[in-house]
């Protein structure tokens, strides 16, 4: 006769069975094909991670040539940076004595360390590039209009955060490159003091000194600065950026999904051959997010990782000699995304370091409010006239920038011709400000001749973009020791 199991054992057996069923059910559900729209819809809306998507999207949003996946790329790069960053944190020590050797250990000894460090570095540079390109895409397709202005503002803030994240991370290896780039960067920030000095208010109002001592924890780059940069880089800035990104993505949904042109419905219907498959509210075509959107995102993710991994496999992140505060690099160059600013700063510290960047960012922020037109959304350059304006602005920016800078370098500028010129005028009329003024005037001329705020804004944006690229290029290739200009970079004396 078989003994019946004790009550306790029975309960145990039942519990195990329940847990197993529940787990496999949940797990196996994923393996069931989602054949009905309802199931597909539920896959998205009932999942914690996926319900960020709307369950239905407009098919136009899937077109790769429209968005180029740049926003997604930026987001995925951020995610990769988080993961690789955490991995690096296993070994990195934010101490001035040990930071450099910990990076050396990561690179030389830790299994996969060199690879992960490379991925982190190239993802960081890549993210700055994709964020800038994404901003350009959003701008040129006019996707800041029609109620998307808040999202635009959030986007510009994210650009700023991305640059700051890259800048704070730049210091952490504590090598000569890092140390001096950050010294230059913080001095640029501190150059607000030049302005308050001129006004005579530095004694009681010194934002330049304030920000500089907040960043540095002292008056020069040292251990305190390293800890602050580390804190900003791994906690404060990622947290802010993450939160803003979540809001940014949520706003997309609230703003009615990705932007699209007025004739998006027709385009989609033409592409399908006339038969809609599923209707969204208001009668426009829509499809389920599962699985179309997810495949699109998966593709962008894998392309990003593949490109990043290949780059990391082939190219090593730089590591120069350990930082030596008594031996400045000559030339000491800021990270590439600040080189344009550094070039402007070499004309005038305040104008180039504070006034022009502030102007630039303010204009960026208020673009949605400058452009009062409503009907150019969703199309690149908003049509042929937009393309033309962009082209002519780019050409104008090229000519005027190269021209003025060339004159300034070859023949000198106002303060060389008129030695007694007061400091204020020197600051206001330096080559950088004159170039920016030219862009502004060209933009206003566009406004007056075409009567369209959208075209004027395209002109301003394009000329500023081209200008920044040119200044960055000058700073990168043509500036050598003592910040001297070399017409032929090959003649630059070696290090």
Partner 1 sequence: MHQPKQDDAPHVIARREFLGKIAAGSLTGAGILVLWGSLDLSLPPTIRSTHPIRLGKSSSYPLNRFTFIPASNLFLYRARHTVSALSAICPHLGCVVRKGEGGFRCPCHGSRFDEQGDLLSGPAARSLDWLRVRRAPDGQLVVLPDERVGPGEELHI
Partner 2 sequence: MEEKLIRFYKYLALVSAIICIAVFSLTAAFDHFGRPWQAMQREYRTILAGRAQNDRQRAEAERSPIEVRQLVLPGELRVDRCITCHAGIENPSMDGIRIPFSIHSGDYLTTHPPEKFGCTLCHKGQGRALEVQDVCGVEGHDPSVSLQYVEALCAQCHLTLFVNGLPSSGTEKVRGGLELVRREGCLGCHKLRGVGGHVGPDLTEQGRKGRHYYSFRRIKGDHSVVNWHREHFRDPGGVSPGSSMPAFDLPGREMEPLITFVLGQFSPSLPLDYYSSEVLQEFRSRQSLRTGREAYLLTCSACHRSDGAGRDFGEHPYGAPSIGNPDFQAVASRELIEYAIWSGRGTSRMESWNPILSGLRAEELELIVDHVRGFRPKGPSLAAVKEADGSMLLGRESFAHNCSLCHGEAGEGGPGPSLNSPDFLGAASEEFLYSTIVIGRSNTAMPSWSALPPREIASLILLLRSWQKESRGLSLPRIGGGNSRRGEDLYASRCARCHGRFGEGGIGPAILNPDFLSAASDGYIGQTIARGRAHTPMFGWREDLTRAERLGPDDLGDLISFMRARKDSLLDFLPPGASTGRPLQGRELYHELCSTCHGRAGEGIKAPALNSQEFLSGATNGFLLATLTLGRRGTAMPSWGRGTSEYRRLTAGERLDIVAHLRTWQREVLRRDWISTPEP
CB of 432 to partner 2, least distance (A): 28
Site string for partner 1, 63-102 (x = CB under 8 A): ----------------------------------------
Dihedral angle over CA of 151, 157, 160, 161, nearest 10: -100
In the numeric block, the tokens 């937009």 are attached to 386
Q: Which residues of 360-398 are buried (b: 16+ CB within 10 A; e: fewer)?
A: beebbbebbeebeeeebbbbebbeeebeebbeebbebbe
Residue 377 contacts partner 2 per CB under 8 A:
no
Stretch that binds partner 2, among 40-48, 224-232, 290-298, 417-425 (CB under 8 A): 290-298
Of residues 153 through 192, those in contact with partner 1 by CB under 8 A are 183-184, 187-188, 190-191
Q: Which of 213, 388, 392, 450 binds partner 1 (CB under 8 A)?
A: 213
Chain centroid, CA 353 distance in Å? 19
What does the alpha-carbon distance between residue 279 and residue 57 come to, in Å, rounded to a whole number?
A: 10
Q: Which is nearer to partner 1, 180 or 442 (CB)?
A: 180
Site for partner 1 in 316-355 (CB under 8 A): 326, 328, 330-332, 345-350
* Cβ–Cβ under 8 Å, residues 345 and 353: yes
Pairing outcome for strands 287-288 and 56-57: antiparallel
Q: What does residue 331 show for φ and ψ, rounded to 5 degrees?
A: -85, 145
| Residue 321 touches which of partner 1, partner 2, none (Cβ within 5-8 Å per kind) | partner 2
Site membership for partner 1, residue 206 (CB under 8 A):
no
Binding span for partner 2 by CB under 8 A among 28-36, 235-243, 266-274, 407-415: 266-274
184 binds, among partner 1, partner 2, none (CB under 5 to 8 A by kind): partner 1
Q: Give the number of other CB atoms < 10 A from CB of residue 272.
A: 12
As beta bridge partners, residue 279 has 285
> Is 296 a binder of partner 2 (CB under 8 A)?
yes
For residue 175, the cross-strand partners are 322
Q: What distance in Å separates the CA atoms of residue 389 and residue 337, rounded to the nearest whole number?
A: 26
Q: Which among partner 1, partner 2, none contacts residue 296 (Cβ within 5 to 8 A by kind)? A: partner 2
Is residue 428 within 8 A of residue 116, CB to CB? The reply is no
What is the distance between the terminal CA atoms of the chain, rounded to a whole angstrom? 93
Is residue 418 close enough to count as binding partner 2 by CB under 8 A?
Answer: no
Return the percent helix, strand and coil in the chain, to nearest 5. 70, 0, 25
443 binds partner 2 (CB under 8 A): no
List residues binding partner 1 (CB under 8 A): 183-184, 187-188, 190-191, 194, 198, 210, 213-214, 216-219, 224, 326, 328, 330-332, 345-350, 415-416, 423, 426-427, 481-484
Q: Could you list the residues that contact partner 2 (CB under 8 A)?
A: 59, 62-64, 101, 104-105, 107-109, 111-112, 115, 176, 268, 271-272, 277, 287, 291-292, 295-296, 298-299, 301-303, 305-306, 309-310, 312-313, 318-321, 324, 327, 329-330, 481, 493-495
């Amino acid at each position: 006769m078989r003994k019946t199991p004790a009550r306790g054992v029975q309960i145990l057996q039942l519990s195990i069975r329940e847990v197993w069923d529940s787990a496999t059910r949940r797990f196996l559900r994923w393996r069931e094909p989602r054949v009905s729209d309802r199931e597909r819809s539920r896959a998205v809306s009932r999942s914690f991670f996926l319900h960020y998507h709307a369950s239905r999207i407009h098919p136009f949003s899937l077109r790769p040539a429209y968005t180029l996946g740049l926003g997604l790329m930026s987001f995925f790069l951020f995610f990769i940076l988080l993961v690789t960053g955490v991995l690096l944190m296993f070994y990195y020590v934010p101490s001035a004595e040990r930071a450099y050797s910990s990076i050396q250990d990561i690179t030389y000894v830790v299994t996969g360390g060199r690879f992960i460090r490379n991925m982190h570095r190239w993802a960081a540079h890549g993210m700055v590039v994709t964020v800038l390109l994404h901003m350009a895409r959003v701008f040129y397709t006019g996707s800041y209009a029609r109620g998307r202005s808040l999202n635009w503002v959030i986007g510009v803030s994210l650009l700023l955060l991305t640059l700051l994240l890259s800048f704070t991370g730049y210091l952490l290896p504590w090598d000569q490159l890092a140390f001096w780039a950050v010294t230059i960067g913080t001095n640029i920030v501190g150059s607000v003091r030049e302005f308050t000095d001129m006004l005579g208010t530095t004694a009681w109002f010194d934002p330049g000194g304030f920000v500089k001592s907040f960043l540095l924890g002292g008056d020069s780059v040292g251990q305190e600065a390293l800890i602050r940069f580390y804190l900003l880089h791994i906690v404060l800035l990622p947290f802010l950026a993450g939160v803003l990104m979540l809001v940014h993505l949520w706003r997309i949904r609230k703003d009615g999904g990705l932007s699209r042109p007025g004739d998006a419905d027709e385009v989609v219907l033409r592409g399908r051959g006339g038969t809609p498959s599923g209707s969204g509210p208001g009668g426009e075509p829509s499809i389920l997010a599962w699985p179309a959107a997810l495949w699109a995102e998966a593709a962008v993710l894998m392309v990003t990782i593949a490109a990043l991994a290949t780059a990391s496999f082939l190219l090593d992140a730089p590591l120069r000699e350990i930082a030596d505060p008594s031996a400045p690099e000559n030339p000491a160059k800021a990270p590439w995304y600040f080189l344009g600013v550094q070039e402007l700063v070499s004309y005038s510290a305040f104008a180039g370091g504070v006034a022009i960047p502030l102007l630039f960012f303010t204009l960026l922020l208020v673009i949605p409010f400058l452009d009062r037109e409503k009907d150019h959304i969703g199309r690149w350059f908003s049509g042929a006239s937009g393309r033309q304006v962009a082209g002519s602005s780019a050409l104008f920016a090229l000519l005027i920038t190269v021209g003025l800078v060339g004159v300034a370098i070859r023949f000198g500028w106002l303060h060389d011709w008129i030695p007694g010129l007061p400091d204020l005028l020197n600051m206001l009329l330096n080559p950088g400000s004159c170039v920016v003024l030219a862009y502004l005037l060209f933009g206003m001329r566009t406004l007056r001749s075409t009567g369209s705020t959208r075209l004027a804004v395209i002109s301003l944006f394009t000329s500023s973009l081209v200008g920044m690229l040119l200044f960055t290029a000058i700073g990168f290739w043509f500036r050598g020791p003592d910040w001297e200009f070399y017409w032929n970079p090959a003649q630059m004396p070696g290090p």
